[in-house]
Structure 1
Amino acid sequence: MDLMTHFSQSSYLMITLIFLLICKGTLGATFTIINKCGHTVWPGTLSNADSSRLDSTGFELPPGRSRAFQAPPNWSGRFWGRTGCSFDPTTGQGGCATGDCGSNQIECNGAGVNPPATLAEFTIRLGALDFYDVSLVDGYNLPILVDATGGTGACLSTGCVTDLNQQCPPELRVGNGEACKSACEAFARPEYCCSGDYASPATCKPTAYSEMFKSACPKSYSYAYDDPTSTFTCSGADYTITFCPSSTSKKSARDMPPPSDSSTDTNTGTDTTSGSSGTKGSTTGTGGFPFGDTSSWFPNFVTGDSSKLLISTYTLHATLTLSITLLLYFSSITCS
């Protein structure tokens, strides 16, 4: 293999790698939603006010099927499952027994969930820590497991894989056991809703009802200020949300010690959409990408002994710089 061929192949591989890294950062996380229930689920999605909508805000997901979504960078929002839905095949209008969003359509179109429903909540941050949790603050209707893959950091799985509908006390039960209300929704009292005189971590404490949820699902939010054991972090990951998971991840948060308080930011606040408290605000960034002819990834052809062709270090650097400049330009178009 001559020197120019070596240079071309090495440069191609290196530029492809950089292109993938740029696109990954530009596009944000991939969310894959899987239905392992024995019945159809109609997932709903809601982006926060400062985030763009995903490709769909509501859709039908038969048993055993999955669907993936590419989120933009710095996206935040939530996913949940709707059950017992019926939509007219002609008009598309209808509703759901649990988790309905009130849009009267399969698409939620920016409408939030009507409790009770199990929520998977995310804050995706480019170049910093993502925050994610599974919340029972708005009640429960389906078991959910969240797995983080391909990221760095603790990246534990979390969720509520227990069927709380079977354990729901009569005063919280919906219908024939299709869902389980939160105490806040059932009784509308400030000590259950963390409102009024109870609107702070110091005054709003666990109740018998939230402790029941916490006992069944120790890594999920059981009430609004349940941050220390319920918020998880990862950087640069993709996420899988599974309804009715058949088994938990080997890295399941149920089998790991709770995250320390140091992993959460002090700027916590009640989520105005669901009432759950989300931990935000990490400034941790990724390390710098190595660059220069002394870096280990740089093609080792400058010191080659080819007698057929001599390429100066200046020429190689100039060619590489031009290639990466063009890459940055075209990736900003292609990956947007």
Structure 2
Amino acid sequence: MMSLANLLLSIPLLLVTFFLISSQAAIFEIRNECPYTVWAAASPGGGRRLDRGQSWTLNVAAGTAMARIWGRTNCNFDAGGRGHCQTGDCGGVLDCKGWVDGFNIPMDFSPTSGGCRGMKCTADINGQCPGELKVPDGCNNPCTVFKTNEYCCTQGQGTCGPTNFSRFFKDRCPDAYSFPQDDPTSTFTCPGGTNYRVVFCPRGSPRFPLEMVGSLSEE
């Protein structure tokens, strides 16, 4: 499916995270254009508070086997980096080691040079989220909610397929990874050595609740 020199990209839904496998180093510029603070998260990479207009440059080492980048909202962390986020939380720490699946913030993910396509998910997923999946300021993963093979594909390749929930996400964000075996429509390759830009709330994104805009959370 890919050569070792390539980067494999996808947007697994909810939290719109990005997955990569690469034998070459890559640079990610992660920028917050939301009208509220976003605590960017990367695994590996850790985490960083980004107020509106701020950026974080992340260097992903060659040979990285699996990684994700996402945003967290309404976080509070103490001086030791312990705390909690309302959405996107990764075990109550600022510097993430694991990850979660879900949707909370519209995002755009694009190469900064040619050779492969960009991806984005900017639909009003939170506003239209099915009631069974709805959480404050986000839309949950059906697997997390129902914990069955139908949504989690725990019984192996070919034991699950698209559902009404996955179609809800796919119809609104065609690039997004909508269920655990959605590789054919949601993974893309980029040449080795490509660098990337990740933007939270890119231009044209839907407006989000005012309580997020006025958040006074601190690290």
Structure 2 unaligned regions, length at least 5: 1-22, 206-219
- From 73, 83, 86, give the equivalent of 2:62: 73
- From 88, 103, 128, give the equivalent of 1:167: 128
User: What is the CA–CA distance in structure 2 between the aligned matches of 1:203 and 1:45, rounded to whole Å?
Assistant: 30
User: Equivalences for 1:53-202 in 2 at 5 Å?
Assistant: 54=45, 57-75=46-64, 76-88=66-78, 90-102=79-91, 104-108=92-96, 110=97, 112-113=98-99, 115=100, 138-152=101-115, 155-175=116-136, 178-196=137-155, 199-200=156-157, 202=158
Aligned equivalent of 1:34: 31
Aligned equivalent of 1:246: 203
Structure 1 unaligned regions, length at least 5: 1-25, 48-53, 116-137, 249-336
Query: Per-residue displacement from partner, 1:99-150 (whole Å, max 9, x unpaired)?
Result: 1111x33222x2x12x4xxxxxxxxxxxxxxxxxxxxxx2211111110122
Query: Per-residue displacement from partner, 1:78-111 (whole Å, max 9, x unpaired)?
Result: 11111110123x5543211111111x33222x2x
User: Equivalences for 1:248-267 in 2 at 5 Å?
Assistant: none
> Which residue identity is paired with 1:100?
D
- From 36, 42, 46, give the equivalent of 1:45: 42
Q: How high is the TM-score relative to the length of structure 2?
A: 0.76
Higher fraction of strand: 2
Query: Per-residue displacement from partner, 1:155-201 (whole Å, max 9, x unpaired)?
Result: 101121112101101111013xx1111211111111111112xx21x
* CA apart distance, 1:65: 0.9
> Which residue identity is paired with 2:71?
G
Aligned equivalent of 1:291: none
Cα contact 2:28–2:57 (8 A) shared by 1: yes
User: What is the CA–CA distance in structure 2 between the aligned matches of 1:71 and 1:188, rounded to whole Å?
Assistant: 32
* CA apart distance, 1:73: 1.8
Structure number with higher relative contact order (C-alpha < 8 Å, ≥ 6 residues apart)? 2
> Which residue identity is paired with 2:95?
E
SS at match of 2:57: strand
User: What is the CA–CA distance in structure 2 between the aligned matches of 1:34 and 1:214, rounded to whole Å?
Assistant: 25
Query: Per-residue displacement from partner, 1:277-306 (whole Å, max 9, x unpaired)?
Result: xxxxxxxxxxxxxxxxxxxxxxxxxxxxxx
Higher fraction of helix: 1
Alignment RMSD, CA only? Answer: 1.9
Aligned residues: 181
Cα contact 1:142–1:163 (8 A) shared by 2: no
Cα contact 2:149–2:159 (8 A) shared by 1: no
User: Equivalences for 1:280-295 in 2 at 5 Å?
Assistant: none
> Which residue identity is paired with 1:243?
F
> Which residue identity is paired with 2:31?
I
> Which residue identity is paired with 1:81?
G
Q: Which stretches of structure 1, 4 residues or longer, exceed 4 Å deviation after superposition?
A: none
Cα contact 2:107–2:202 (8 A) shared by 1: yes
